[in-house]
Amino acid sequence: MPRTLWWENNQLKMIDQRILPLRYEVISYDDHHAVAAAISDMVVRGAPAIGAAGGFGMALAALHSPATDRAGLLAELEQAKSVLDAARPTAVNLSWATARILNYARRSVLADMAEVRAAVLAEAQRIADEDVEINRRMGAFGAEIVPDQANILTHCNAGSLATVDYGTTLGVVRAAVAAGKRVHVWVDETRPRLQGARLTAWELMQDGIAMTLIADNAAGMLMRLGKVDLVLFGADRVAANGDVANKIGSYKLAVIARENGIPCYSVVPTPTIDLSLAHGDLIPIEERSAREVTHVGAEQIAPDGVPVYNPAFDVTPHHYLTGIITEEGICYPPFAVSLRRAVEMAEKRRGDR
């Protein structure tokens, strides 16, 4: 499988994740407004992949801008950033990537507009390439805490499809398997969008990694019966104190894991850590369409007119987490100290751009 998204012939190519695993299709984008719509509609999803898509969306805005001077181009990039950032407000990687592109363009000393546009595209490509490196680094650190013959419980999809390639949570699983550890993955179906059933199960089966799909409500029973050794899930935003916003249902898993003495880790690239927010209650939680709950695919399963509440994410308070796995190592409490150190190390390593 190629990367989840890539640049080709002055277009952004993305795997359409809405129709997997039944069909595999690639959609091409040549306009940042269309990229924003694709992010909102979940053609692409997963915080790191959304961030990379946002970076390429900024490159498209620069490529097609009619501006003839730096001031005009920067103004258009600022507008493009606003459009892209609004597509999904919880995943901080999106605004992180668009801000990185905009700041890079602001700092550029290039005078020729064609050179500025090429430099913006190169920076977007760096964001995508760095994501793959980050995931592999996280996988190596995370594999160290995976026991041999572990039964791992996952939620949502935090695999290759949630990133540019390799994955965050599934990156840890893949790295553990590559290290010779025998693992089995319990895959939460993850209502209402079924990212676990559709995407995580598909990825693991493609890789030949042992897995079993379960209904979300079976997770607690499995933990109580001693059939889960480790809970792993990703994140869309992490507050400075270690509170983690992830796909709805993650909080419940962390609480039940604590009740049953099971280690629970969030697997998080440092661009997902938002040190500007003191705690998780400050993280904006996206609420999505009622149709996601009232329908499965095209089939309606609920009465007409039923009231629906559909938050896309919940927040897991940091005290339910054993640790947070990053590309700079595993962060342990106090998270306010260890997360800041990880972010600073990452910024130093990439010479923060």
Q: How far apart are the C-alpha atoms of 246 and 257, rounded to whole Å?
A: 16
66 Cβ contact list (under 8 Å, min separation 6): none
Residue of 190, 243, 240 whose CA lies nearest to 215: 190
**Neighbouring C-beta atoms of residue 221, cutoff 10 Å:** 12
Q: How would you classify the pairing of strands 329-331 and 323-326?
A: antiparallel
Q: How far apart are the C-alpha atoms of 189 and 268, rounded to whole Å?
A: 21
Residue of 262, 269, 234 whose CA lies nearest to 248: 234
Q: Which one from 85, 131, 165, 236 is the annotated catalytic residue?
A: 236
57 Cβ contact list (under 8 Å, min separation 6): 12, 29, 32, 35, 36, 39, 80, 84, 98
100 and 125 in contact (C-beta within 8 Å)? no
Whether 236 is catalytic: yes
Q: How far apart are the C-alpha atoms of 9 and 295, rounded to whole Å?
A: 37
Q: How would you classify the pairing of strands 183-188 and 211-214?
A: parallel
Catalytic residue ranges: 236
